[in-house]
A and B are shown apart, each in its own frame.
Chain A
Amino acid sequence: MVRFIALRLLQAIPVLFVVISATFFLVRQAPGGPFDAEKPVIPAVKRALEAKYNLDQSLWQQYLSYMGDLLQGDLGPSFKYPGWAVQDLIGSGFPVTAELGIYALLIALLIGTTAGVLAALKPNSAQDYVPMSVAMIGICMPTFLLGPLLVLVFGIWLEWLPISGWGDLPGDKILPSITLGAAYAAYVARLSRGGMLEVLSQDYIRTARAKGLPEHVVVLKHALRGGLVPVVAYLGPAFAGLLSGSFVVETIFQIPGLGRFYVQAAFNRDYTMILGTTIFLSTLIVLFNLLSDVIATWMNPRLRDGLRGGSQ
């Protein structure tokens, strides 16, 4: 197991290197530059700006100096907000997005696994359709519909909850978390229902049932662990997706998170910010995918045996 993790971490280094290099050159191919504006700055000013941020050098020189700075842990100043270093901005946005993502994931897991397990126990019955339909609401209602709708009902009509912000007013974290989590609840529900059905039809469950074990023991002790493997495998990418995909929710609720920075940086052609957020997020993605593989392996006895045998 340790060897497996170490190997994957080693593999992550070239992965990140390729990601950074590819992104560096790709963003420069997109039309428009960071200092283009409706009222264009006069040419002398533009030259001065480009000199200040080394944009007047050849692309390769810029690449080498960027990589040099990166090795020293310096992501450079944001081109859109030059008063702040990219690491400052990420440092201010990440905790917010991470908190939002964790709440959303918890909500998704709570709703999703409950619905999925209930549904798998009695497939094609009311106990299947009702919870699954509830869980489905999340993907049937896109975030940009669910968010404003929740705002309208709970923020404006009922006046129960604040309609924007993050940590400024009591309860302002509830609506964004539900909005973001709802979409993932449906996925979790589907995966756990599928996984549970698969496991419940397997021989060892039949054996357990044949032995006369009570149903809740069979489900909770034997089936759940195998049945939730697909969910666990999904958690890594899901959390990474929550971090980079919270743009819509963060925009609707005006939350100062990484998701907004990530998308807006692309539109602003904020080269350093695009690279900085990409490096940060891709590191997280690699780590989370590894983590979910490790947990899935640990939960699935067969794979674990395979690993012990030395192959992977």
Chain B
Amino acid sequence: MARRLLIPLLLCGFLLACVGGETNVAQGNRDGVLHFGNYGEPQGLDPHVVTGVPEHHIIGALFEGLVLKNPETLAIEPGVAESWTVSDDGRIYTFKLRDNARWSNGDEITAADFEWSWWRALQPALASSYVFMYFPIKNAEAYFNRSLSNFDEVGIKAIDKKTFRVELDAPAPYFLQLLDHYALFPVHRPTVEKFGAPDESYTRWTRPENIVSNGPFLLDEWRLFKYLSVKKNPDYWDADKVKLNAIRFYPIDKQTTEERMFRAGQLHRTEEVPIDRIPWYRQNRPEVLKIAPYIGTYLYRLNTRKPHLADVRVRQALSMSVDRRRLIDTVLNGLFTPAYSVVPPGLLGYKPPDVFGFDPDKARQLLSEAGYPGGKGYPGLEIQYNTHEQHRKIAIAIQQMWREELGIDVRLQNKDWKVYLDDETTGNFDASRGGWIGDYVDPNTFMDIWTAASGVNRTGFADEEFDRLVLQIAPNAKDHETRLNTFQQAERLFLEQMPIVPLYTYSSKHLVHPGVKGLSPNYMDYYNFRYVSLEPDASGVTQD
């Protein structure tokens, strides 16, 4: 009796194991569901309030602004606005909204929606972190600071139901790009007001049961710290082009776990790849490894207010004695591009000035001119960095390079994120790890952060000429070339003072299942889920 039952039981167990064994990827390929490693739990989904990359991915699927970017070329494409005109002086943009753009509850999207949404984003009490994205608009900053109380004087105007006009303070060639940033997305007024005052942040209006949005996908399910899923919006104006049925965003903050989930077929795409794992993928699965230059610079800030870093020759010596090529090729598995400037090369045709290179002899000479021959008499230096495997590795290698090349004493201080930030902003550091990711493709996003008043500067660097070039000359430049030349001049000035040690230009690095189409890497690591599709017959990625 028992023996007769055994075989069917075993069979059942085996079948169950098979059912349990079908991977997310295999199932997702069949059903058109993309499983997306998304690094962290979103702080919220209100486009005007949140910041951060995980939020960016999700909100980009749920909402849509006036324009979109092509994921391959990053060229501007029509979004809610089907067309627009720019005045000859480059200051006035007039958008024509498309007729078939609708909110997910069926309401028509009107110019008044945009006017109200942008008015809302400029309310101080909302505390929108990205409010500075609005500041190229005429009087927007003054209105936000309450030095101007009449919104009619701000360059934001709904002319009629479908015509929306924006007036800028000065021509900003990157303005259209900003429109695809979620800070400038529209929100649905009745829904927002139903759950609180317009300038109240983090109300319940973004919960799945309440939210009204206008993007290619709708919020479907939000399970805290597990996943957030969105499903296709059938009423989206371009719904025919949208191929995915759903996307599931997983907040996975541990790289090694994420990589293993990918290998086990639980994810189509990872947010990161552990550096030590790169060689394995290069050798065994080069087709899933997606590495592309990314608009960001990894750097060390030097605290110019400290006596032993006040001498520009010391700072230059520190920067020239780091062998970036060697650092990248060994510890970082060749992932990044050495940086000798703060603006990554190639932004809209921008070429950074050539100010310095790896030159240990010159570095030693400079240090000795500064009064520390062979590092003798130098009080030593502390590198601070926040807890992260990659920062640790880089700091250990650089510590050794500075010791060997310059003969100075270097100590490492690993700090927790908030202590690190606090020490950096209060100037309690010698050298501090930092990085900057551009908000848009333009040298300006890498230059205005080093002006004296900028909260990101933190190095004590303050130069009137630099500020004048970046804040006054460049925005009013006659043409594109003059503008780039101005930035180049400013950057040369900046690099000669060397308040930072630029180390490398970032690369985005992801693992992407071969069945995923349209998730091609680009300079901004930008995704447009409208263009993504899954091949049902693509084989699952599993361990061979």
Interface residues of chain A, those whose CB is within 8 Å of chain B, are: 30-33, 36-46, 48-49, 51-52, 77, 80-84, 89, 92-93, 148, 151, 155-157, 159, 162-166, 168-171, 251-254, 256, 260, 267-269
Contact = CB atoms under 8 A, between A and B. Distances in A.
Contacts of B21: 159
A92 B224 contact: yes
Interface string B119-130: 000001111110
Contact of B127 (A37, A41, A170, A260): A41
A89 B129 CA distance: 24
B135 to A, nearest CB: 9
A83 to B, nearest CB: 4
A32 B125 contact: no
A165 B261 CA distance: 10
Contact of A44 (B16, B144, B419, B423): B144
A18 to B, nearest CB: 26
Interface stretch (B249-257, B519-527, B529-537): B249-257
Given A31-B423, A48-B127, A165-B226, A159 B456 contact: no
A51 B128 CA distance: 14
A77 B145 CA distance: 27
A30 B145 contact: no
B397 interface: no
B266 A162 contact: yes
A37 B422 CA distance: 9
B132 A42 contact: yes
A44 B429 CA distance: 26
Given A156-B260, A164-B261, A48 B125 contact: yes
B257 A164 contact: yes
Given A32-B422, A162-B266, A81 B543 contact: no
B137 to A, nearest CB: 15
Contacts of A93: 225
A267 B260 contact: no
Given A42-B455, A164-B252, A251-B254, 16 more contacts: A32-B418, A32-B419, A37-B51, A38-B421, A39-B456, A42-B131, A45-B124, A46-B127, A83-B44, A83-B204, A89-B224, A92-B224, A93-B225, A156-B264, A157-B543, A170-B20
B443 to A, nearest CB: 18
B108 interface: no
Nearest to B21: A159
B264 A41 contact: no
Nearest to B203: A83
A171 B20 CA distance: 9
Contacts of A168: 226
B206 interface: yes
Interface in B194-237: 201-204, 206-207, 223-226
Nearest to B126: A48
A163 B257 contact: yes
Given A31-B418, A36-B425, A156-B264, A84 B125 contact: no
Given A37-B51, A45-B129, A83-B202, A92 B260 contact: no
B77 interface: no
B465 to A, nearest CB: 24
A168 B226 CA distance: 9
Contact of A52 (B125, B129, B417, B435): B125
B201 A82 contact: yes
A256 B226 contact: yes
B541 to A, nearest CB: 12
6 contacts: A40-B455, A42-B131, A49-B127, A80-B43, A83-B203, A260-B225
B260 A155 contact: yes
Nearest to B264: A163
A84 B21 CA distance: 35
A32 to B, nearest CB: 3
A41 B421 CA distance: 13
B392 interface: no
B125 A256 contact: no
B160 interface: no
Contacts of B266: 162-165
B51 A156 contact: no
B418 A84 contact: no
Nearest to A168: B226
Contact of B421 (A37, A42, A52, A83): A37
Contacts of A80: 43
A268 B419 CA distance: 10
A165 B124 CA distance: 40
Contacts of A251: 253-254, 257
B127 A36 contact: no
Given A39-B456, A48-B126, A92-B224, A81 B43 contact: yes
The residue in A52, A83, A156, A163 that gathers the most chain B C-beta atoms within 10 A of its C-beta is: A83
Contacts of A254: 250, 252-254, 257
Interface in B8-52: 16, 20-21, 41, 43-45, 51
B202 A44 contact: no
Interface string B171-214: 00000000000000000000000000000011110110000000
A296 B544 CA distance: 53
Nearest to A256: B225
Given A44-B124, A81-B44, A36 B202 contact: no
Contact of A36 (B264, B421, B542): B421
B354 interface: no
B351 interface: no
Nearest to A166: B226
A162 B260 CA distance: 10
A82 B55 CA distance: 14
Nearest to A250: B225
Contacts of B434: 38
Pairs of residues from A and B, 4 with the lowest C-beta to C-beta distance, nearest first? A32-B418, A256-B225, A40-B455, A48-B127
A41 B129 contact: yes
Contact of B263 (A82, A156, A169): A156
Which of B203, B418, B435 has the most chain A CB within a 10 Å cutoff? B418
Given A89-B224, A92-B225, A163-B260, A82 B421 contact: no
Contacts of B203: 83
B404 interface: no
A268 B45 CA distance: 19
B463 interface: no
B353 to A, nearest CB: 25
A51 B543 CA distance: 53
Contacts of A32: 417-419, 421-422
A254 to B, nearest CB: 5
Contacts of B250: 254
Nearest to B125: A48
A169 B257 CA distance: 16
B416 interface: yes
A268 B418 CA distance: 7
A44 B225 CA distance: 31
A38 to B, nearest CB: 7
Nearest to B420: A32
Nearest to B17: A160
A24 to B, nearest CB: 17
A5 to B, nearest CB: 36
B40 to A, nearest CB: 10
Nearest to B16: A170
A163 B131 CA distance: 41
B228 to A, nearest CB: 12
Given A37-B51, A40-B456, A31 B226 contact: no
Nearest to B267: A164
